[in-house]
């Protein structure tokens, strides 16, 4: 039987793989790669603090893979909704950082769609739990 926790964890895996492949494909984009080699892409300087910040942001969805499986239901729903919204804001914000290649737009659309699905499932899970609890109390 597929549990909501299992489904959420798999969606976070799917999201993480999309993030990775988007970055890998970017390395094949010659303009991006040339800019990356000099440490400045679309006005963003790739400094150690920037890379650390980026690493922390990218650790969040990887952490959600595990947290979705081990957190208690109520906390799990809340964390999935909060992190889902946070990652959507970050992803949408990334569009404002400069020129976006076609593959970046494609992967970003998949990533935002996946995050919206995570939010929907977590929200529905909370509503379903409340409905089920109310039904039991009414018996």
Higher pLDDT, 136 or 23: 23
Q: Residue 27 pLDDT more than 70?
A: yes
pLDDT at 6: 95
pTM listed for this prediction: 0.84
Percent of the chain with pLDDT over 70: 88
* Residue ranges per structural domain of the chain: 4-129
pLDDT at 128: 65
**Residues 35-64: tens digit of each pLDDT:** 888 888 878 888 899 999 999 999 999 999
Q: What average pLDDT does range 115-131 have in this prediction?
A: 82
Distance between CA atoms of residues 70 and 5, nearest Å: 8
DSSP state of 42: T
Find the DSSP H helices in the chain.
4-26, 30-37, 48-70, 73-94, 102-137
pLDDT level of residue 126 (50, 70, 90 thresholds): low
Q: Count CB-CB contacts under 10 A for residue 111.
A: 22
pLDDT at 29: 82
Q: What is the mean pLDDT of the chain?
A: 87
């Amino acid at each position: 039987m597929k549990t909501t926790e299992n489904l959420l964890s798999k969606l976070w895996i799917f999201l993480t793989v999309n993030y990775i492949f988007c970055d890998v494909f970017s390395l094949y984009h010659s303009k991006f790669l040339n800019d990356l080699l000099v440490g400045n892409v679309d006005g963003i300087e790739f400094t150690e603090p920037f890379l650390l910040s980026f690493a922390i942001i990218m650790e969040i969805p990887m952490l959600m893979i595990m947290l979705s499986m081990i957190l208690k239901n109520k906390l799990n729903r809340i964390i999935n909704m909060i992190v889902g919204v946070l990652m959507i804001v970050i992803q949408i914000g990334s569009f404002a950082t400069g020129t976006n290649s076609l593959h970046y737009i494609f992967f970003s659309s998949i990533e935002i769609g996946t995050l919206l699905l995570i939010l929907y499932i977590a929200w529905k899970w909370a509503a379903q739990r409340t409905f089920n609890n109310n039904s039991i109390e009414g018996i």
